[in-house]
């Protein structure tokens, strides 16, 4: 089964600048593409820990004594590494967003093109689903979610349509939701607007931006000096957080300075601008189109 094809694999591995005897963390294991590439560089003393909150990813675990796959959200990065006696690492990689496998399995609800239960949970151990959200959130809350996380220009109209539809019939499937908002999808841009809608609900259901913030803050705490942090994002909300944090050490992008006017930053940029996929890769892997890769290095303490 082709679970997920990693985007910009070579650029990610180069960005990590792997020490063969180092300790590394892949916080978004998925199909294990990045992890397998890291393992090829590590020697017998090297170690790789991986995280994934999706139970489906556990089937892809690598059979190797130097590797361990942890079934948890990366927001708990520091805690679960400490449980294993790991306090410092040499590099961390995060490939954010939804895996190809999650899109392909209709009953997960990630695809706007297949009918399935309106679920959208990355971790099916959690209780709230997108179905719960669209059937229970009030109009004001839905508008806020669609505007903030989907950046939908017609968030208010869409939220209103969802509330009107569910008054007559429960919104249980992906196609129910499509039907509910069908009159608010601009002609020729239906798929784009649906993708923005599903993105908004997915981010809210999974608490994705808060988890990303927690992971980035913990990454700085556990990285060795000169340790690398490699993050690939797929939409502007994620990329903005990563860009600001890499540049300033905070999510607002406000550069703080010490008494002498020197910037107080925990990371040094390795990539000045976001790296994007080559034309060749774009032709072979459509998912690479929206990917932005950023690399930073932990400053000396």
Tell me the C-alpha distance between 7 and 34, whole Å: 9
Q: Is the pTM of this model over 0.85?
A: yes
Residue 284, C-beta contacts closer than 8 angstroms, at least 6 positions apart: none
Q: Tokens 């990454």: give the residue.
A: 219
Confidence class for position 130, pLDDT limits 50, 70, 90: very high
Confidence class for position 280, pLDDT limits 50, 70, 90: very high
Confidence class for position 301, pLDDT limits 50, 70, 90: confident
Instruction: Convert the pLDDT of each residue in 144-198 to its tens digit.
Output: 999 999 999 999 999 999 999 999 999 999 999 999 999 999 999 999 999 999 9
Q: What pLDDT was estimated at residue 1?
A: 42
Instruction: Convert the pLDDT of each residue in 192-220 to its tens digit.
Output: 999 999 999 999 999 999 999 999 999 99
Alpha helix ranges (H) inside 77-169: 77-82, 100-104, 130-136, 139-150, 155-168
Q: What is the CA radius of gyration of the chain?
A: 20
Instruction: Convert the pLDDT of each residue in 21-80 to its tens digit.
Output: 999 999 999 999 999 999 999 999 999 999 999 888 899 999 999 999 999 999 999 999
- Tell me if residue 187 falls in helix, strand or coil: coil
Q: List residues bridging with 49 in a β-sheet.
A: 25, 68
């Amino acid at each position: 089964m082709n679970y997920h094809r990693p985007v910009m694999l070579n650029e990610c591995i180069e960005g990590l600048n792997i020490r063969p005897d180092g300790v590394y963390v892949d916080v978004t294991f998925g199909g294990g593409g990045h992890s397998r590439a890291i393992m090829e560089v590590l020697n017998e003393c090297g170690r790789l820990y991986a995280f994934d909150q999706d139970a489906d990813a556990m089937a892809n675990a690598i059979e190797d004594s130097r590797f361990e796959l942890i079934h948890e959200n990366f927001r708990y990065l520091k805690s679960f590494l400490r449980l294993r006696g790991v306090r410092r690492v040499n590099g961390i990689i995060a490939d954010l967003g939804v895996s190809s496998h999650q899109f392909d399995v209709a009953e997960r609800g990630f695809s706007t093109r297949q009918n399935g239960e309106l679920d959208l949970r990355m971790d099916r151990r959690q209780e709230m689903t997108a179905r719960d959200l669209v059937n229970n959130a009030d109009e004001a809350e839905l508008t806020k979610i669609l505007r903030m996380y989907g950046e939908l220009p017609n968030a208010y109209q869409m939220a209103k349509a969802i509330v009107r539809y569910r008054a007559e019939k429960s919104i249980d499937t992906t196609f129910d939701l499509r039907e509910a908002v069908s009159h608010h999808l601009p002609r020729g841009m239906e798929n784009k607007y649906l993708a923005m809608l599903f993105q908004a609900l997915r981010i809210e259901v999974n608490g994705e931006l808060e988890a990303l913030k927690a992971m980035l803050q913990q990454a700085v705490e556990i990285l060795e000096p000169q340790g690398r942090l490699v993050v690939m994002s797929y939409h502007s909300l994620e990329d903005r957080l990563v860009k600001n944090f890499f540049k300033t050490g905070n999510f607002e992008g406000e550069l703080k300075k010490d008494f002498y006017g020197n910037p107080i930053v925990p990371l040094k940029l390795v990539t000045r601008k976001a790296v994007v996929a080559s034309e060749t890769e774009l032709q072979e892997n459509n998912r690479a189109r929206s990917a932005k890769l950023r690399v930073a290095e932990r400053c000396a303490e």
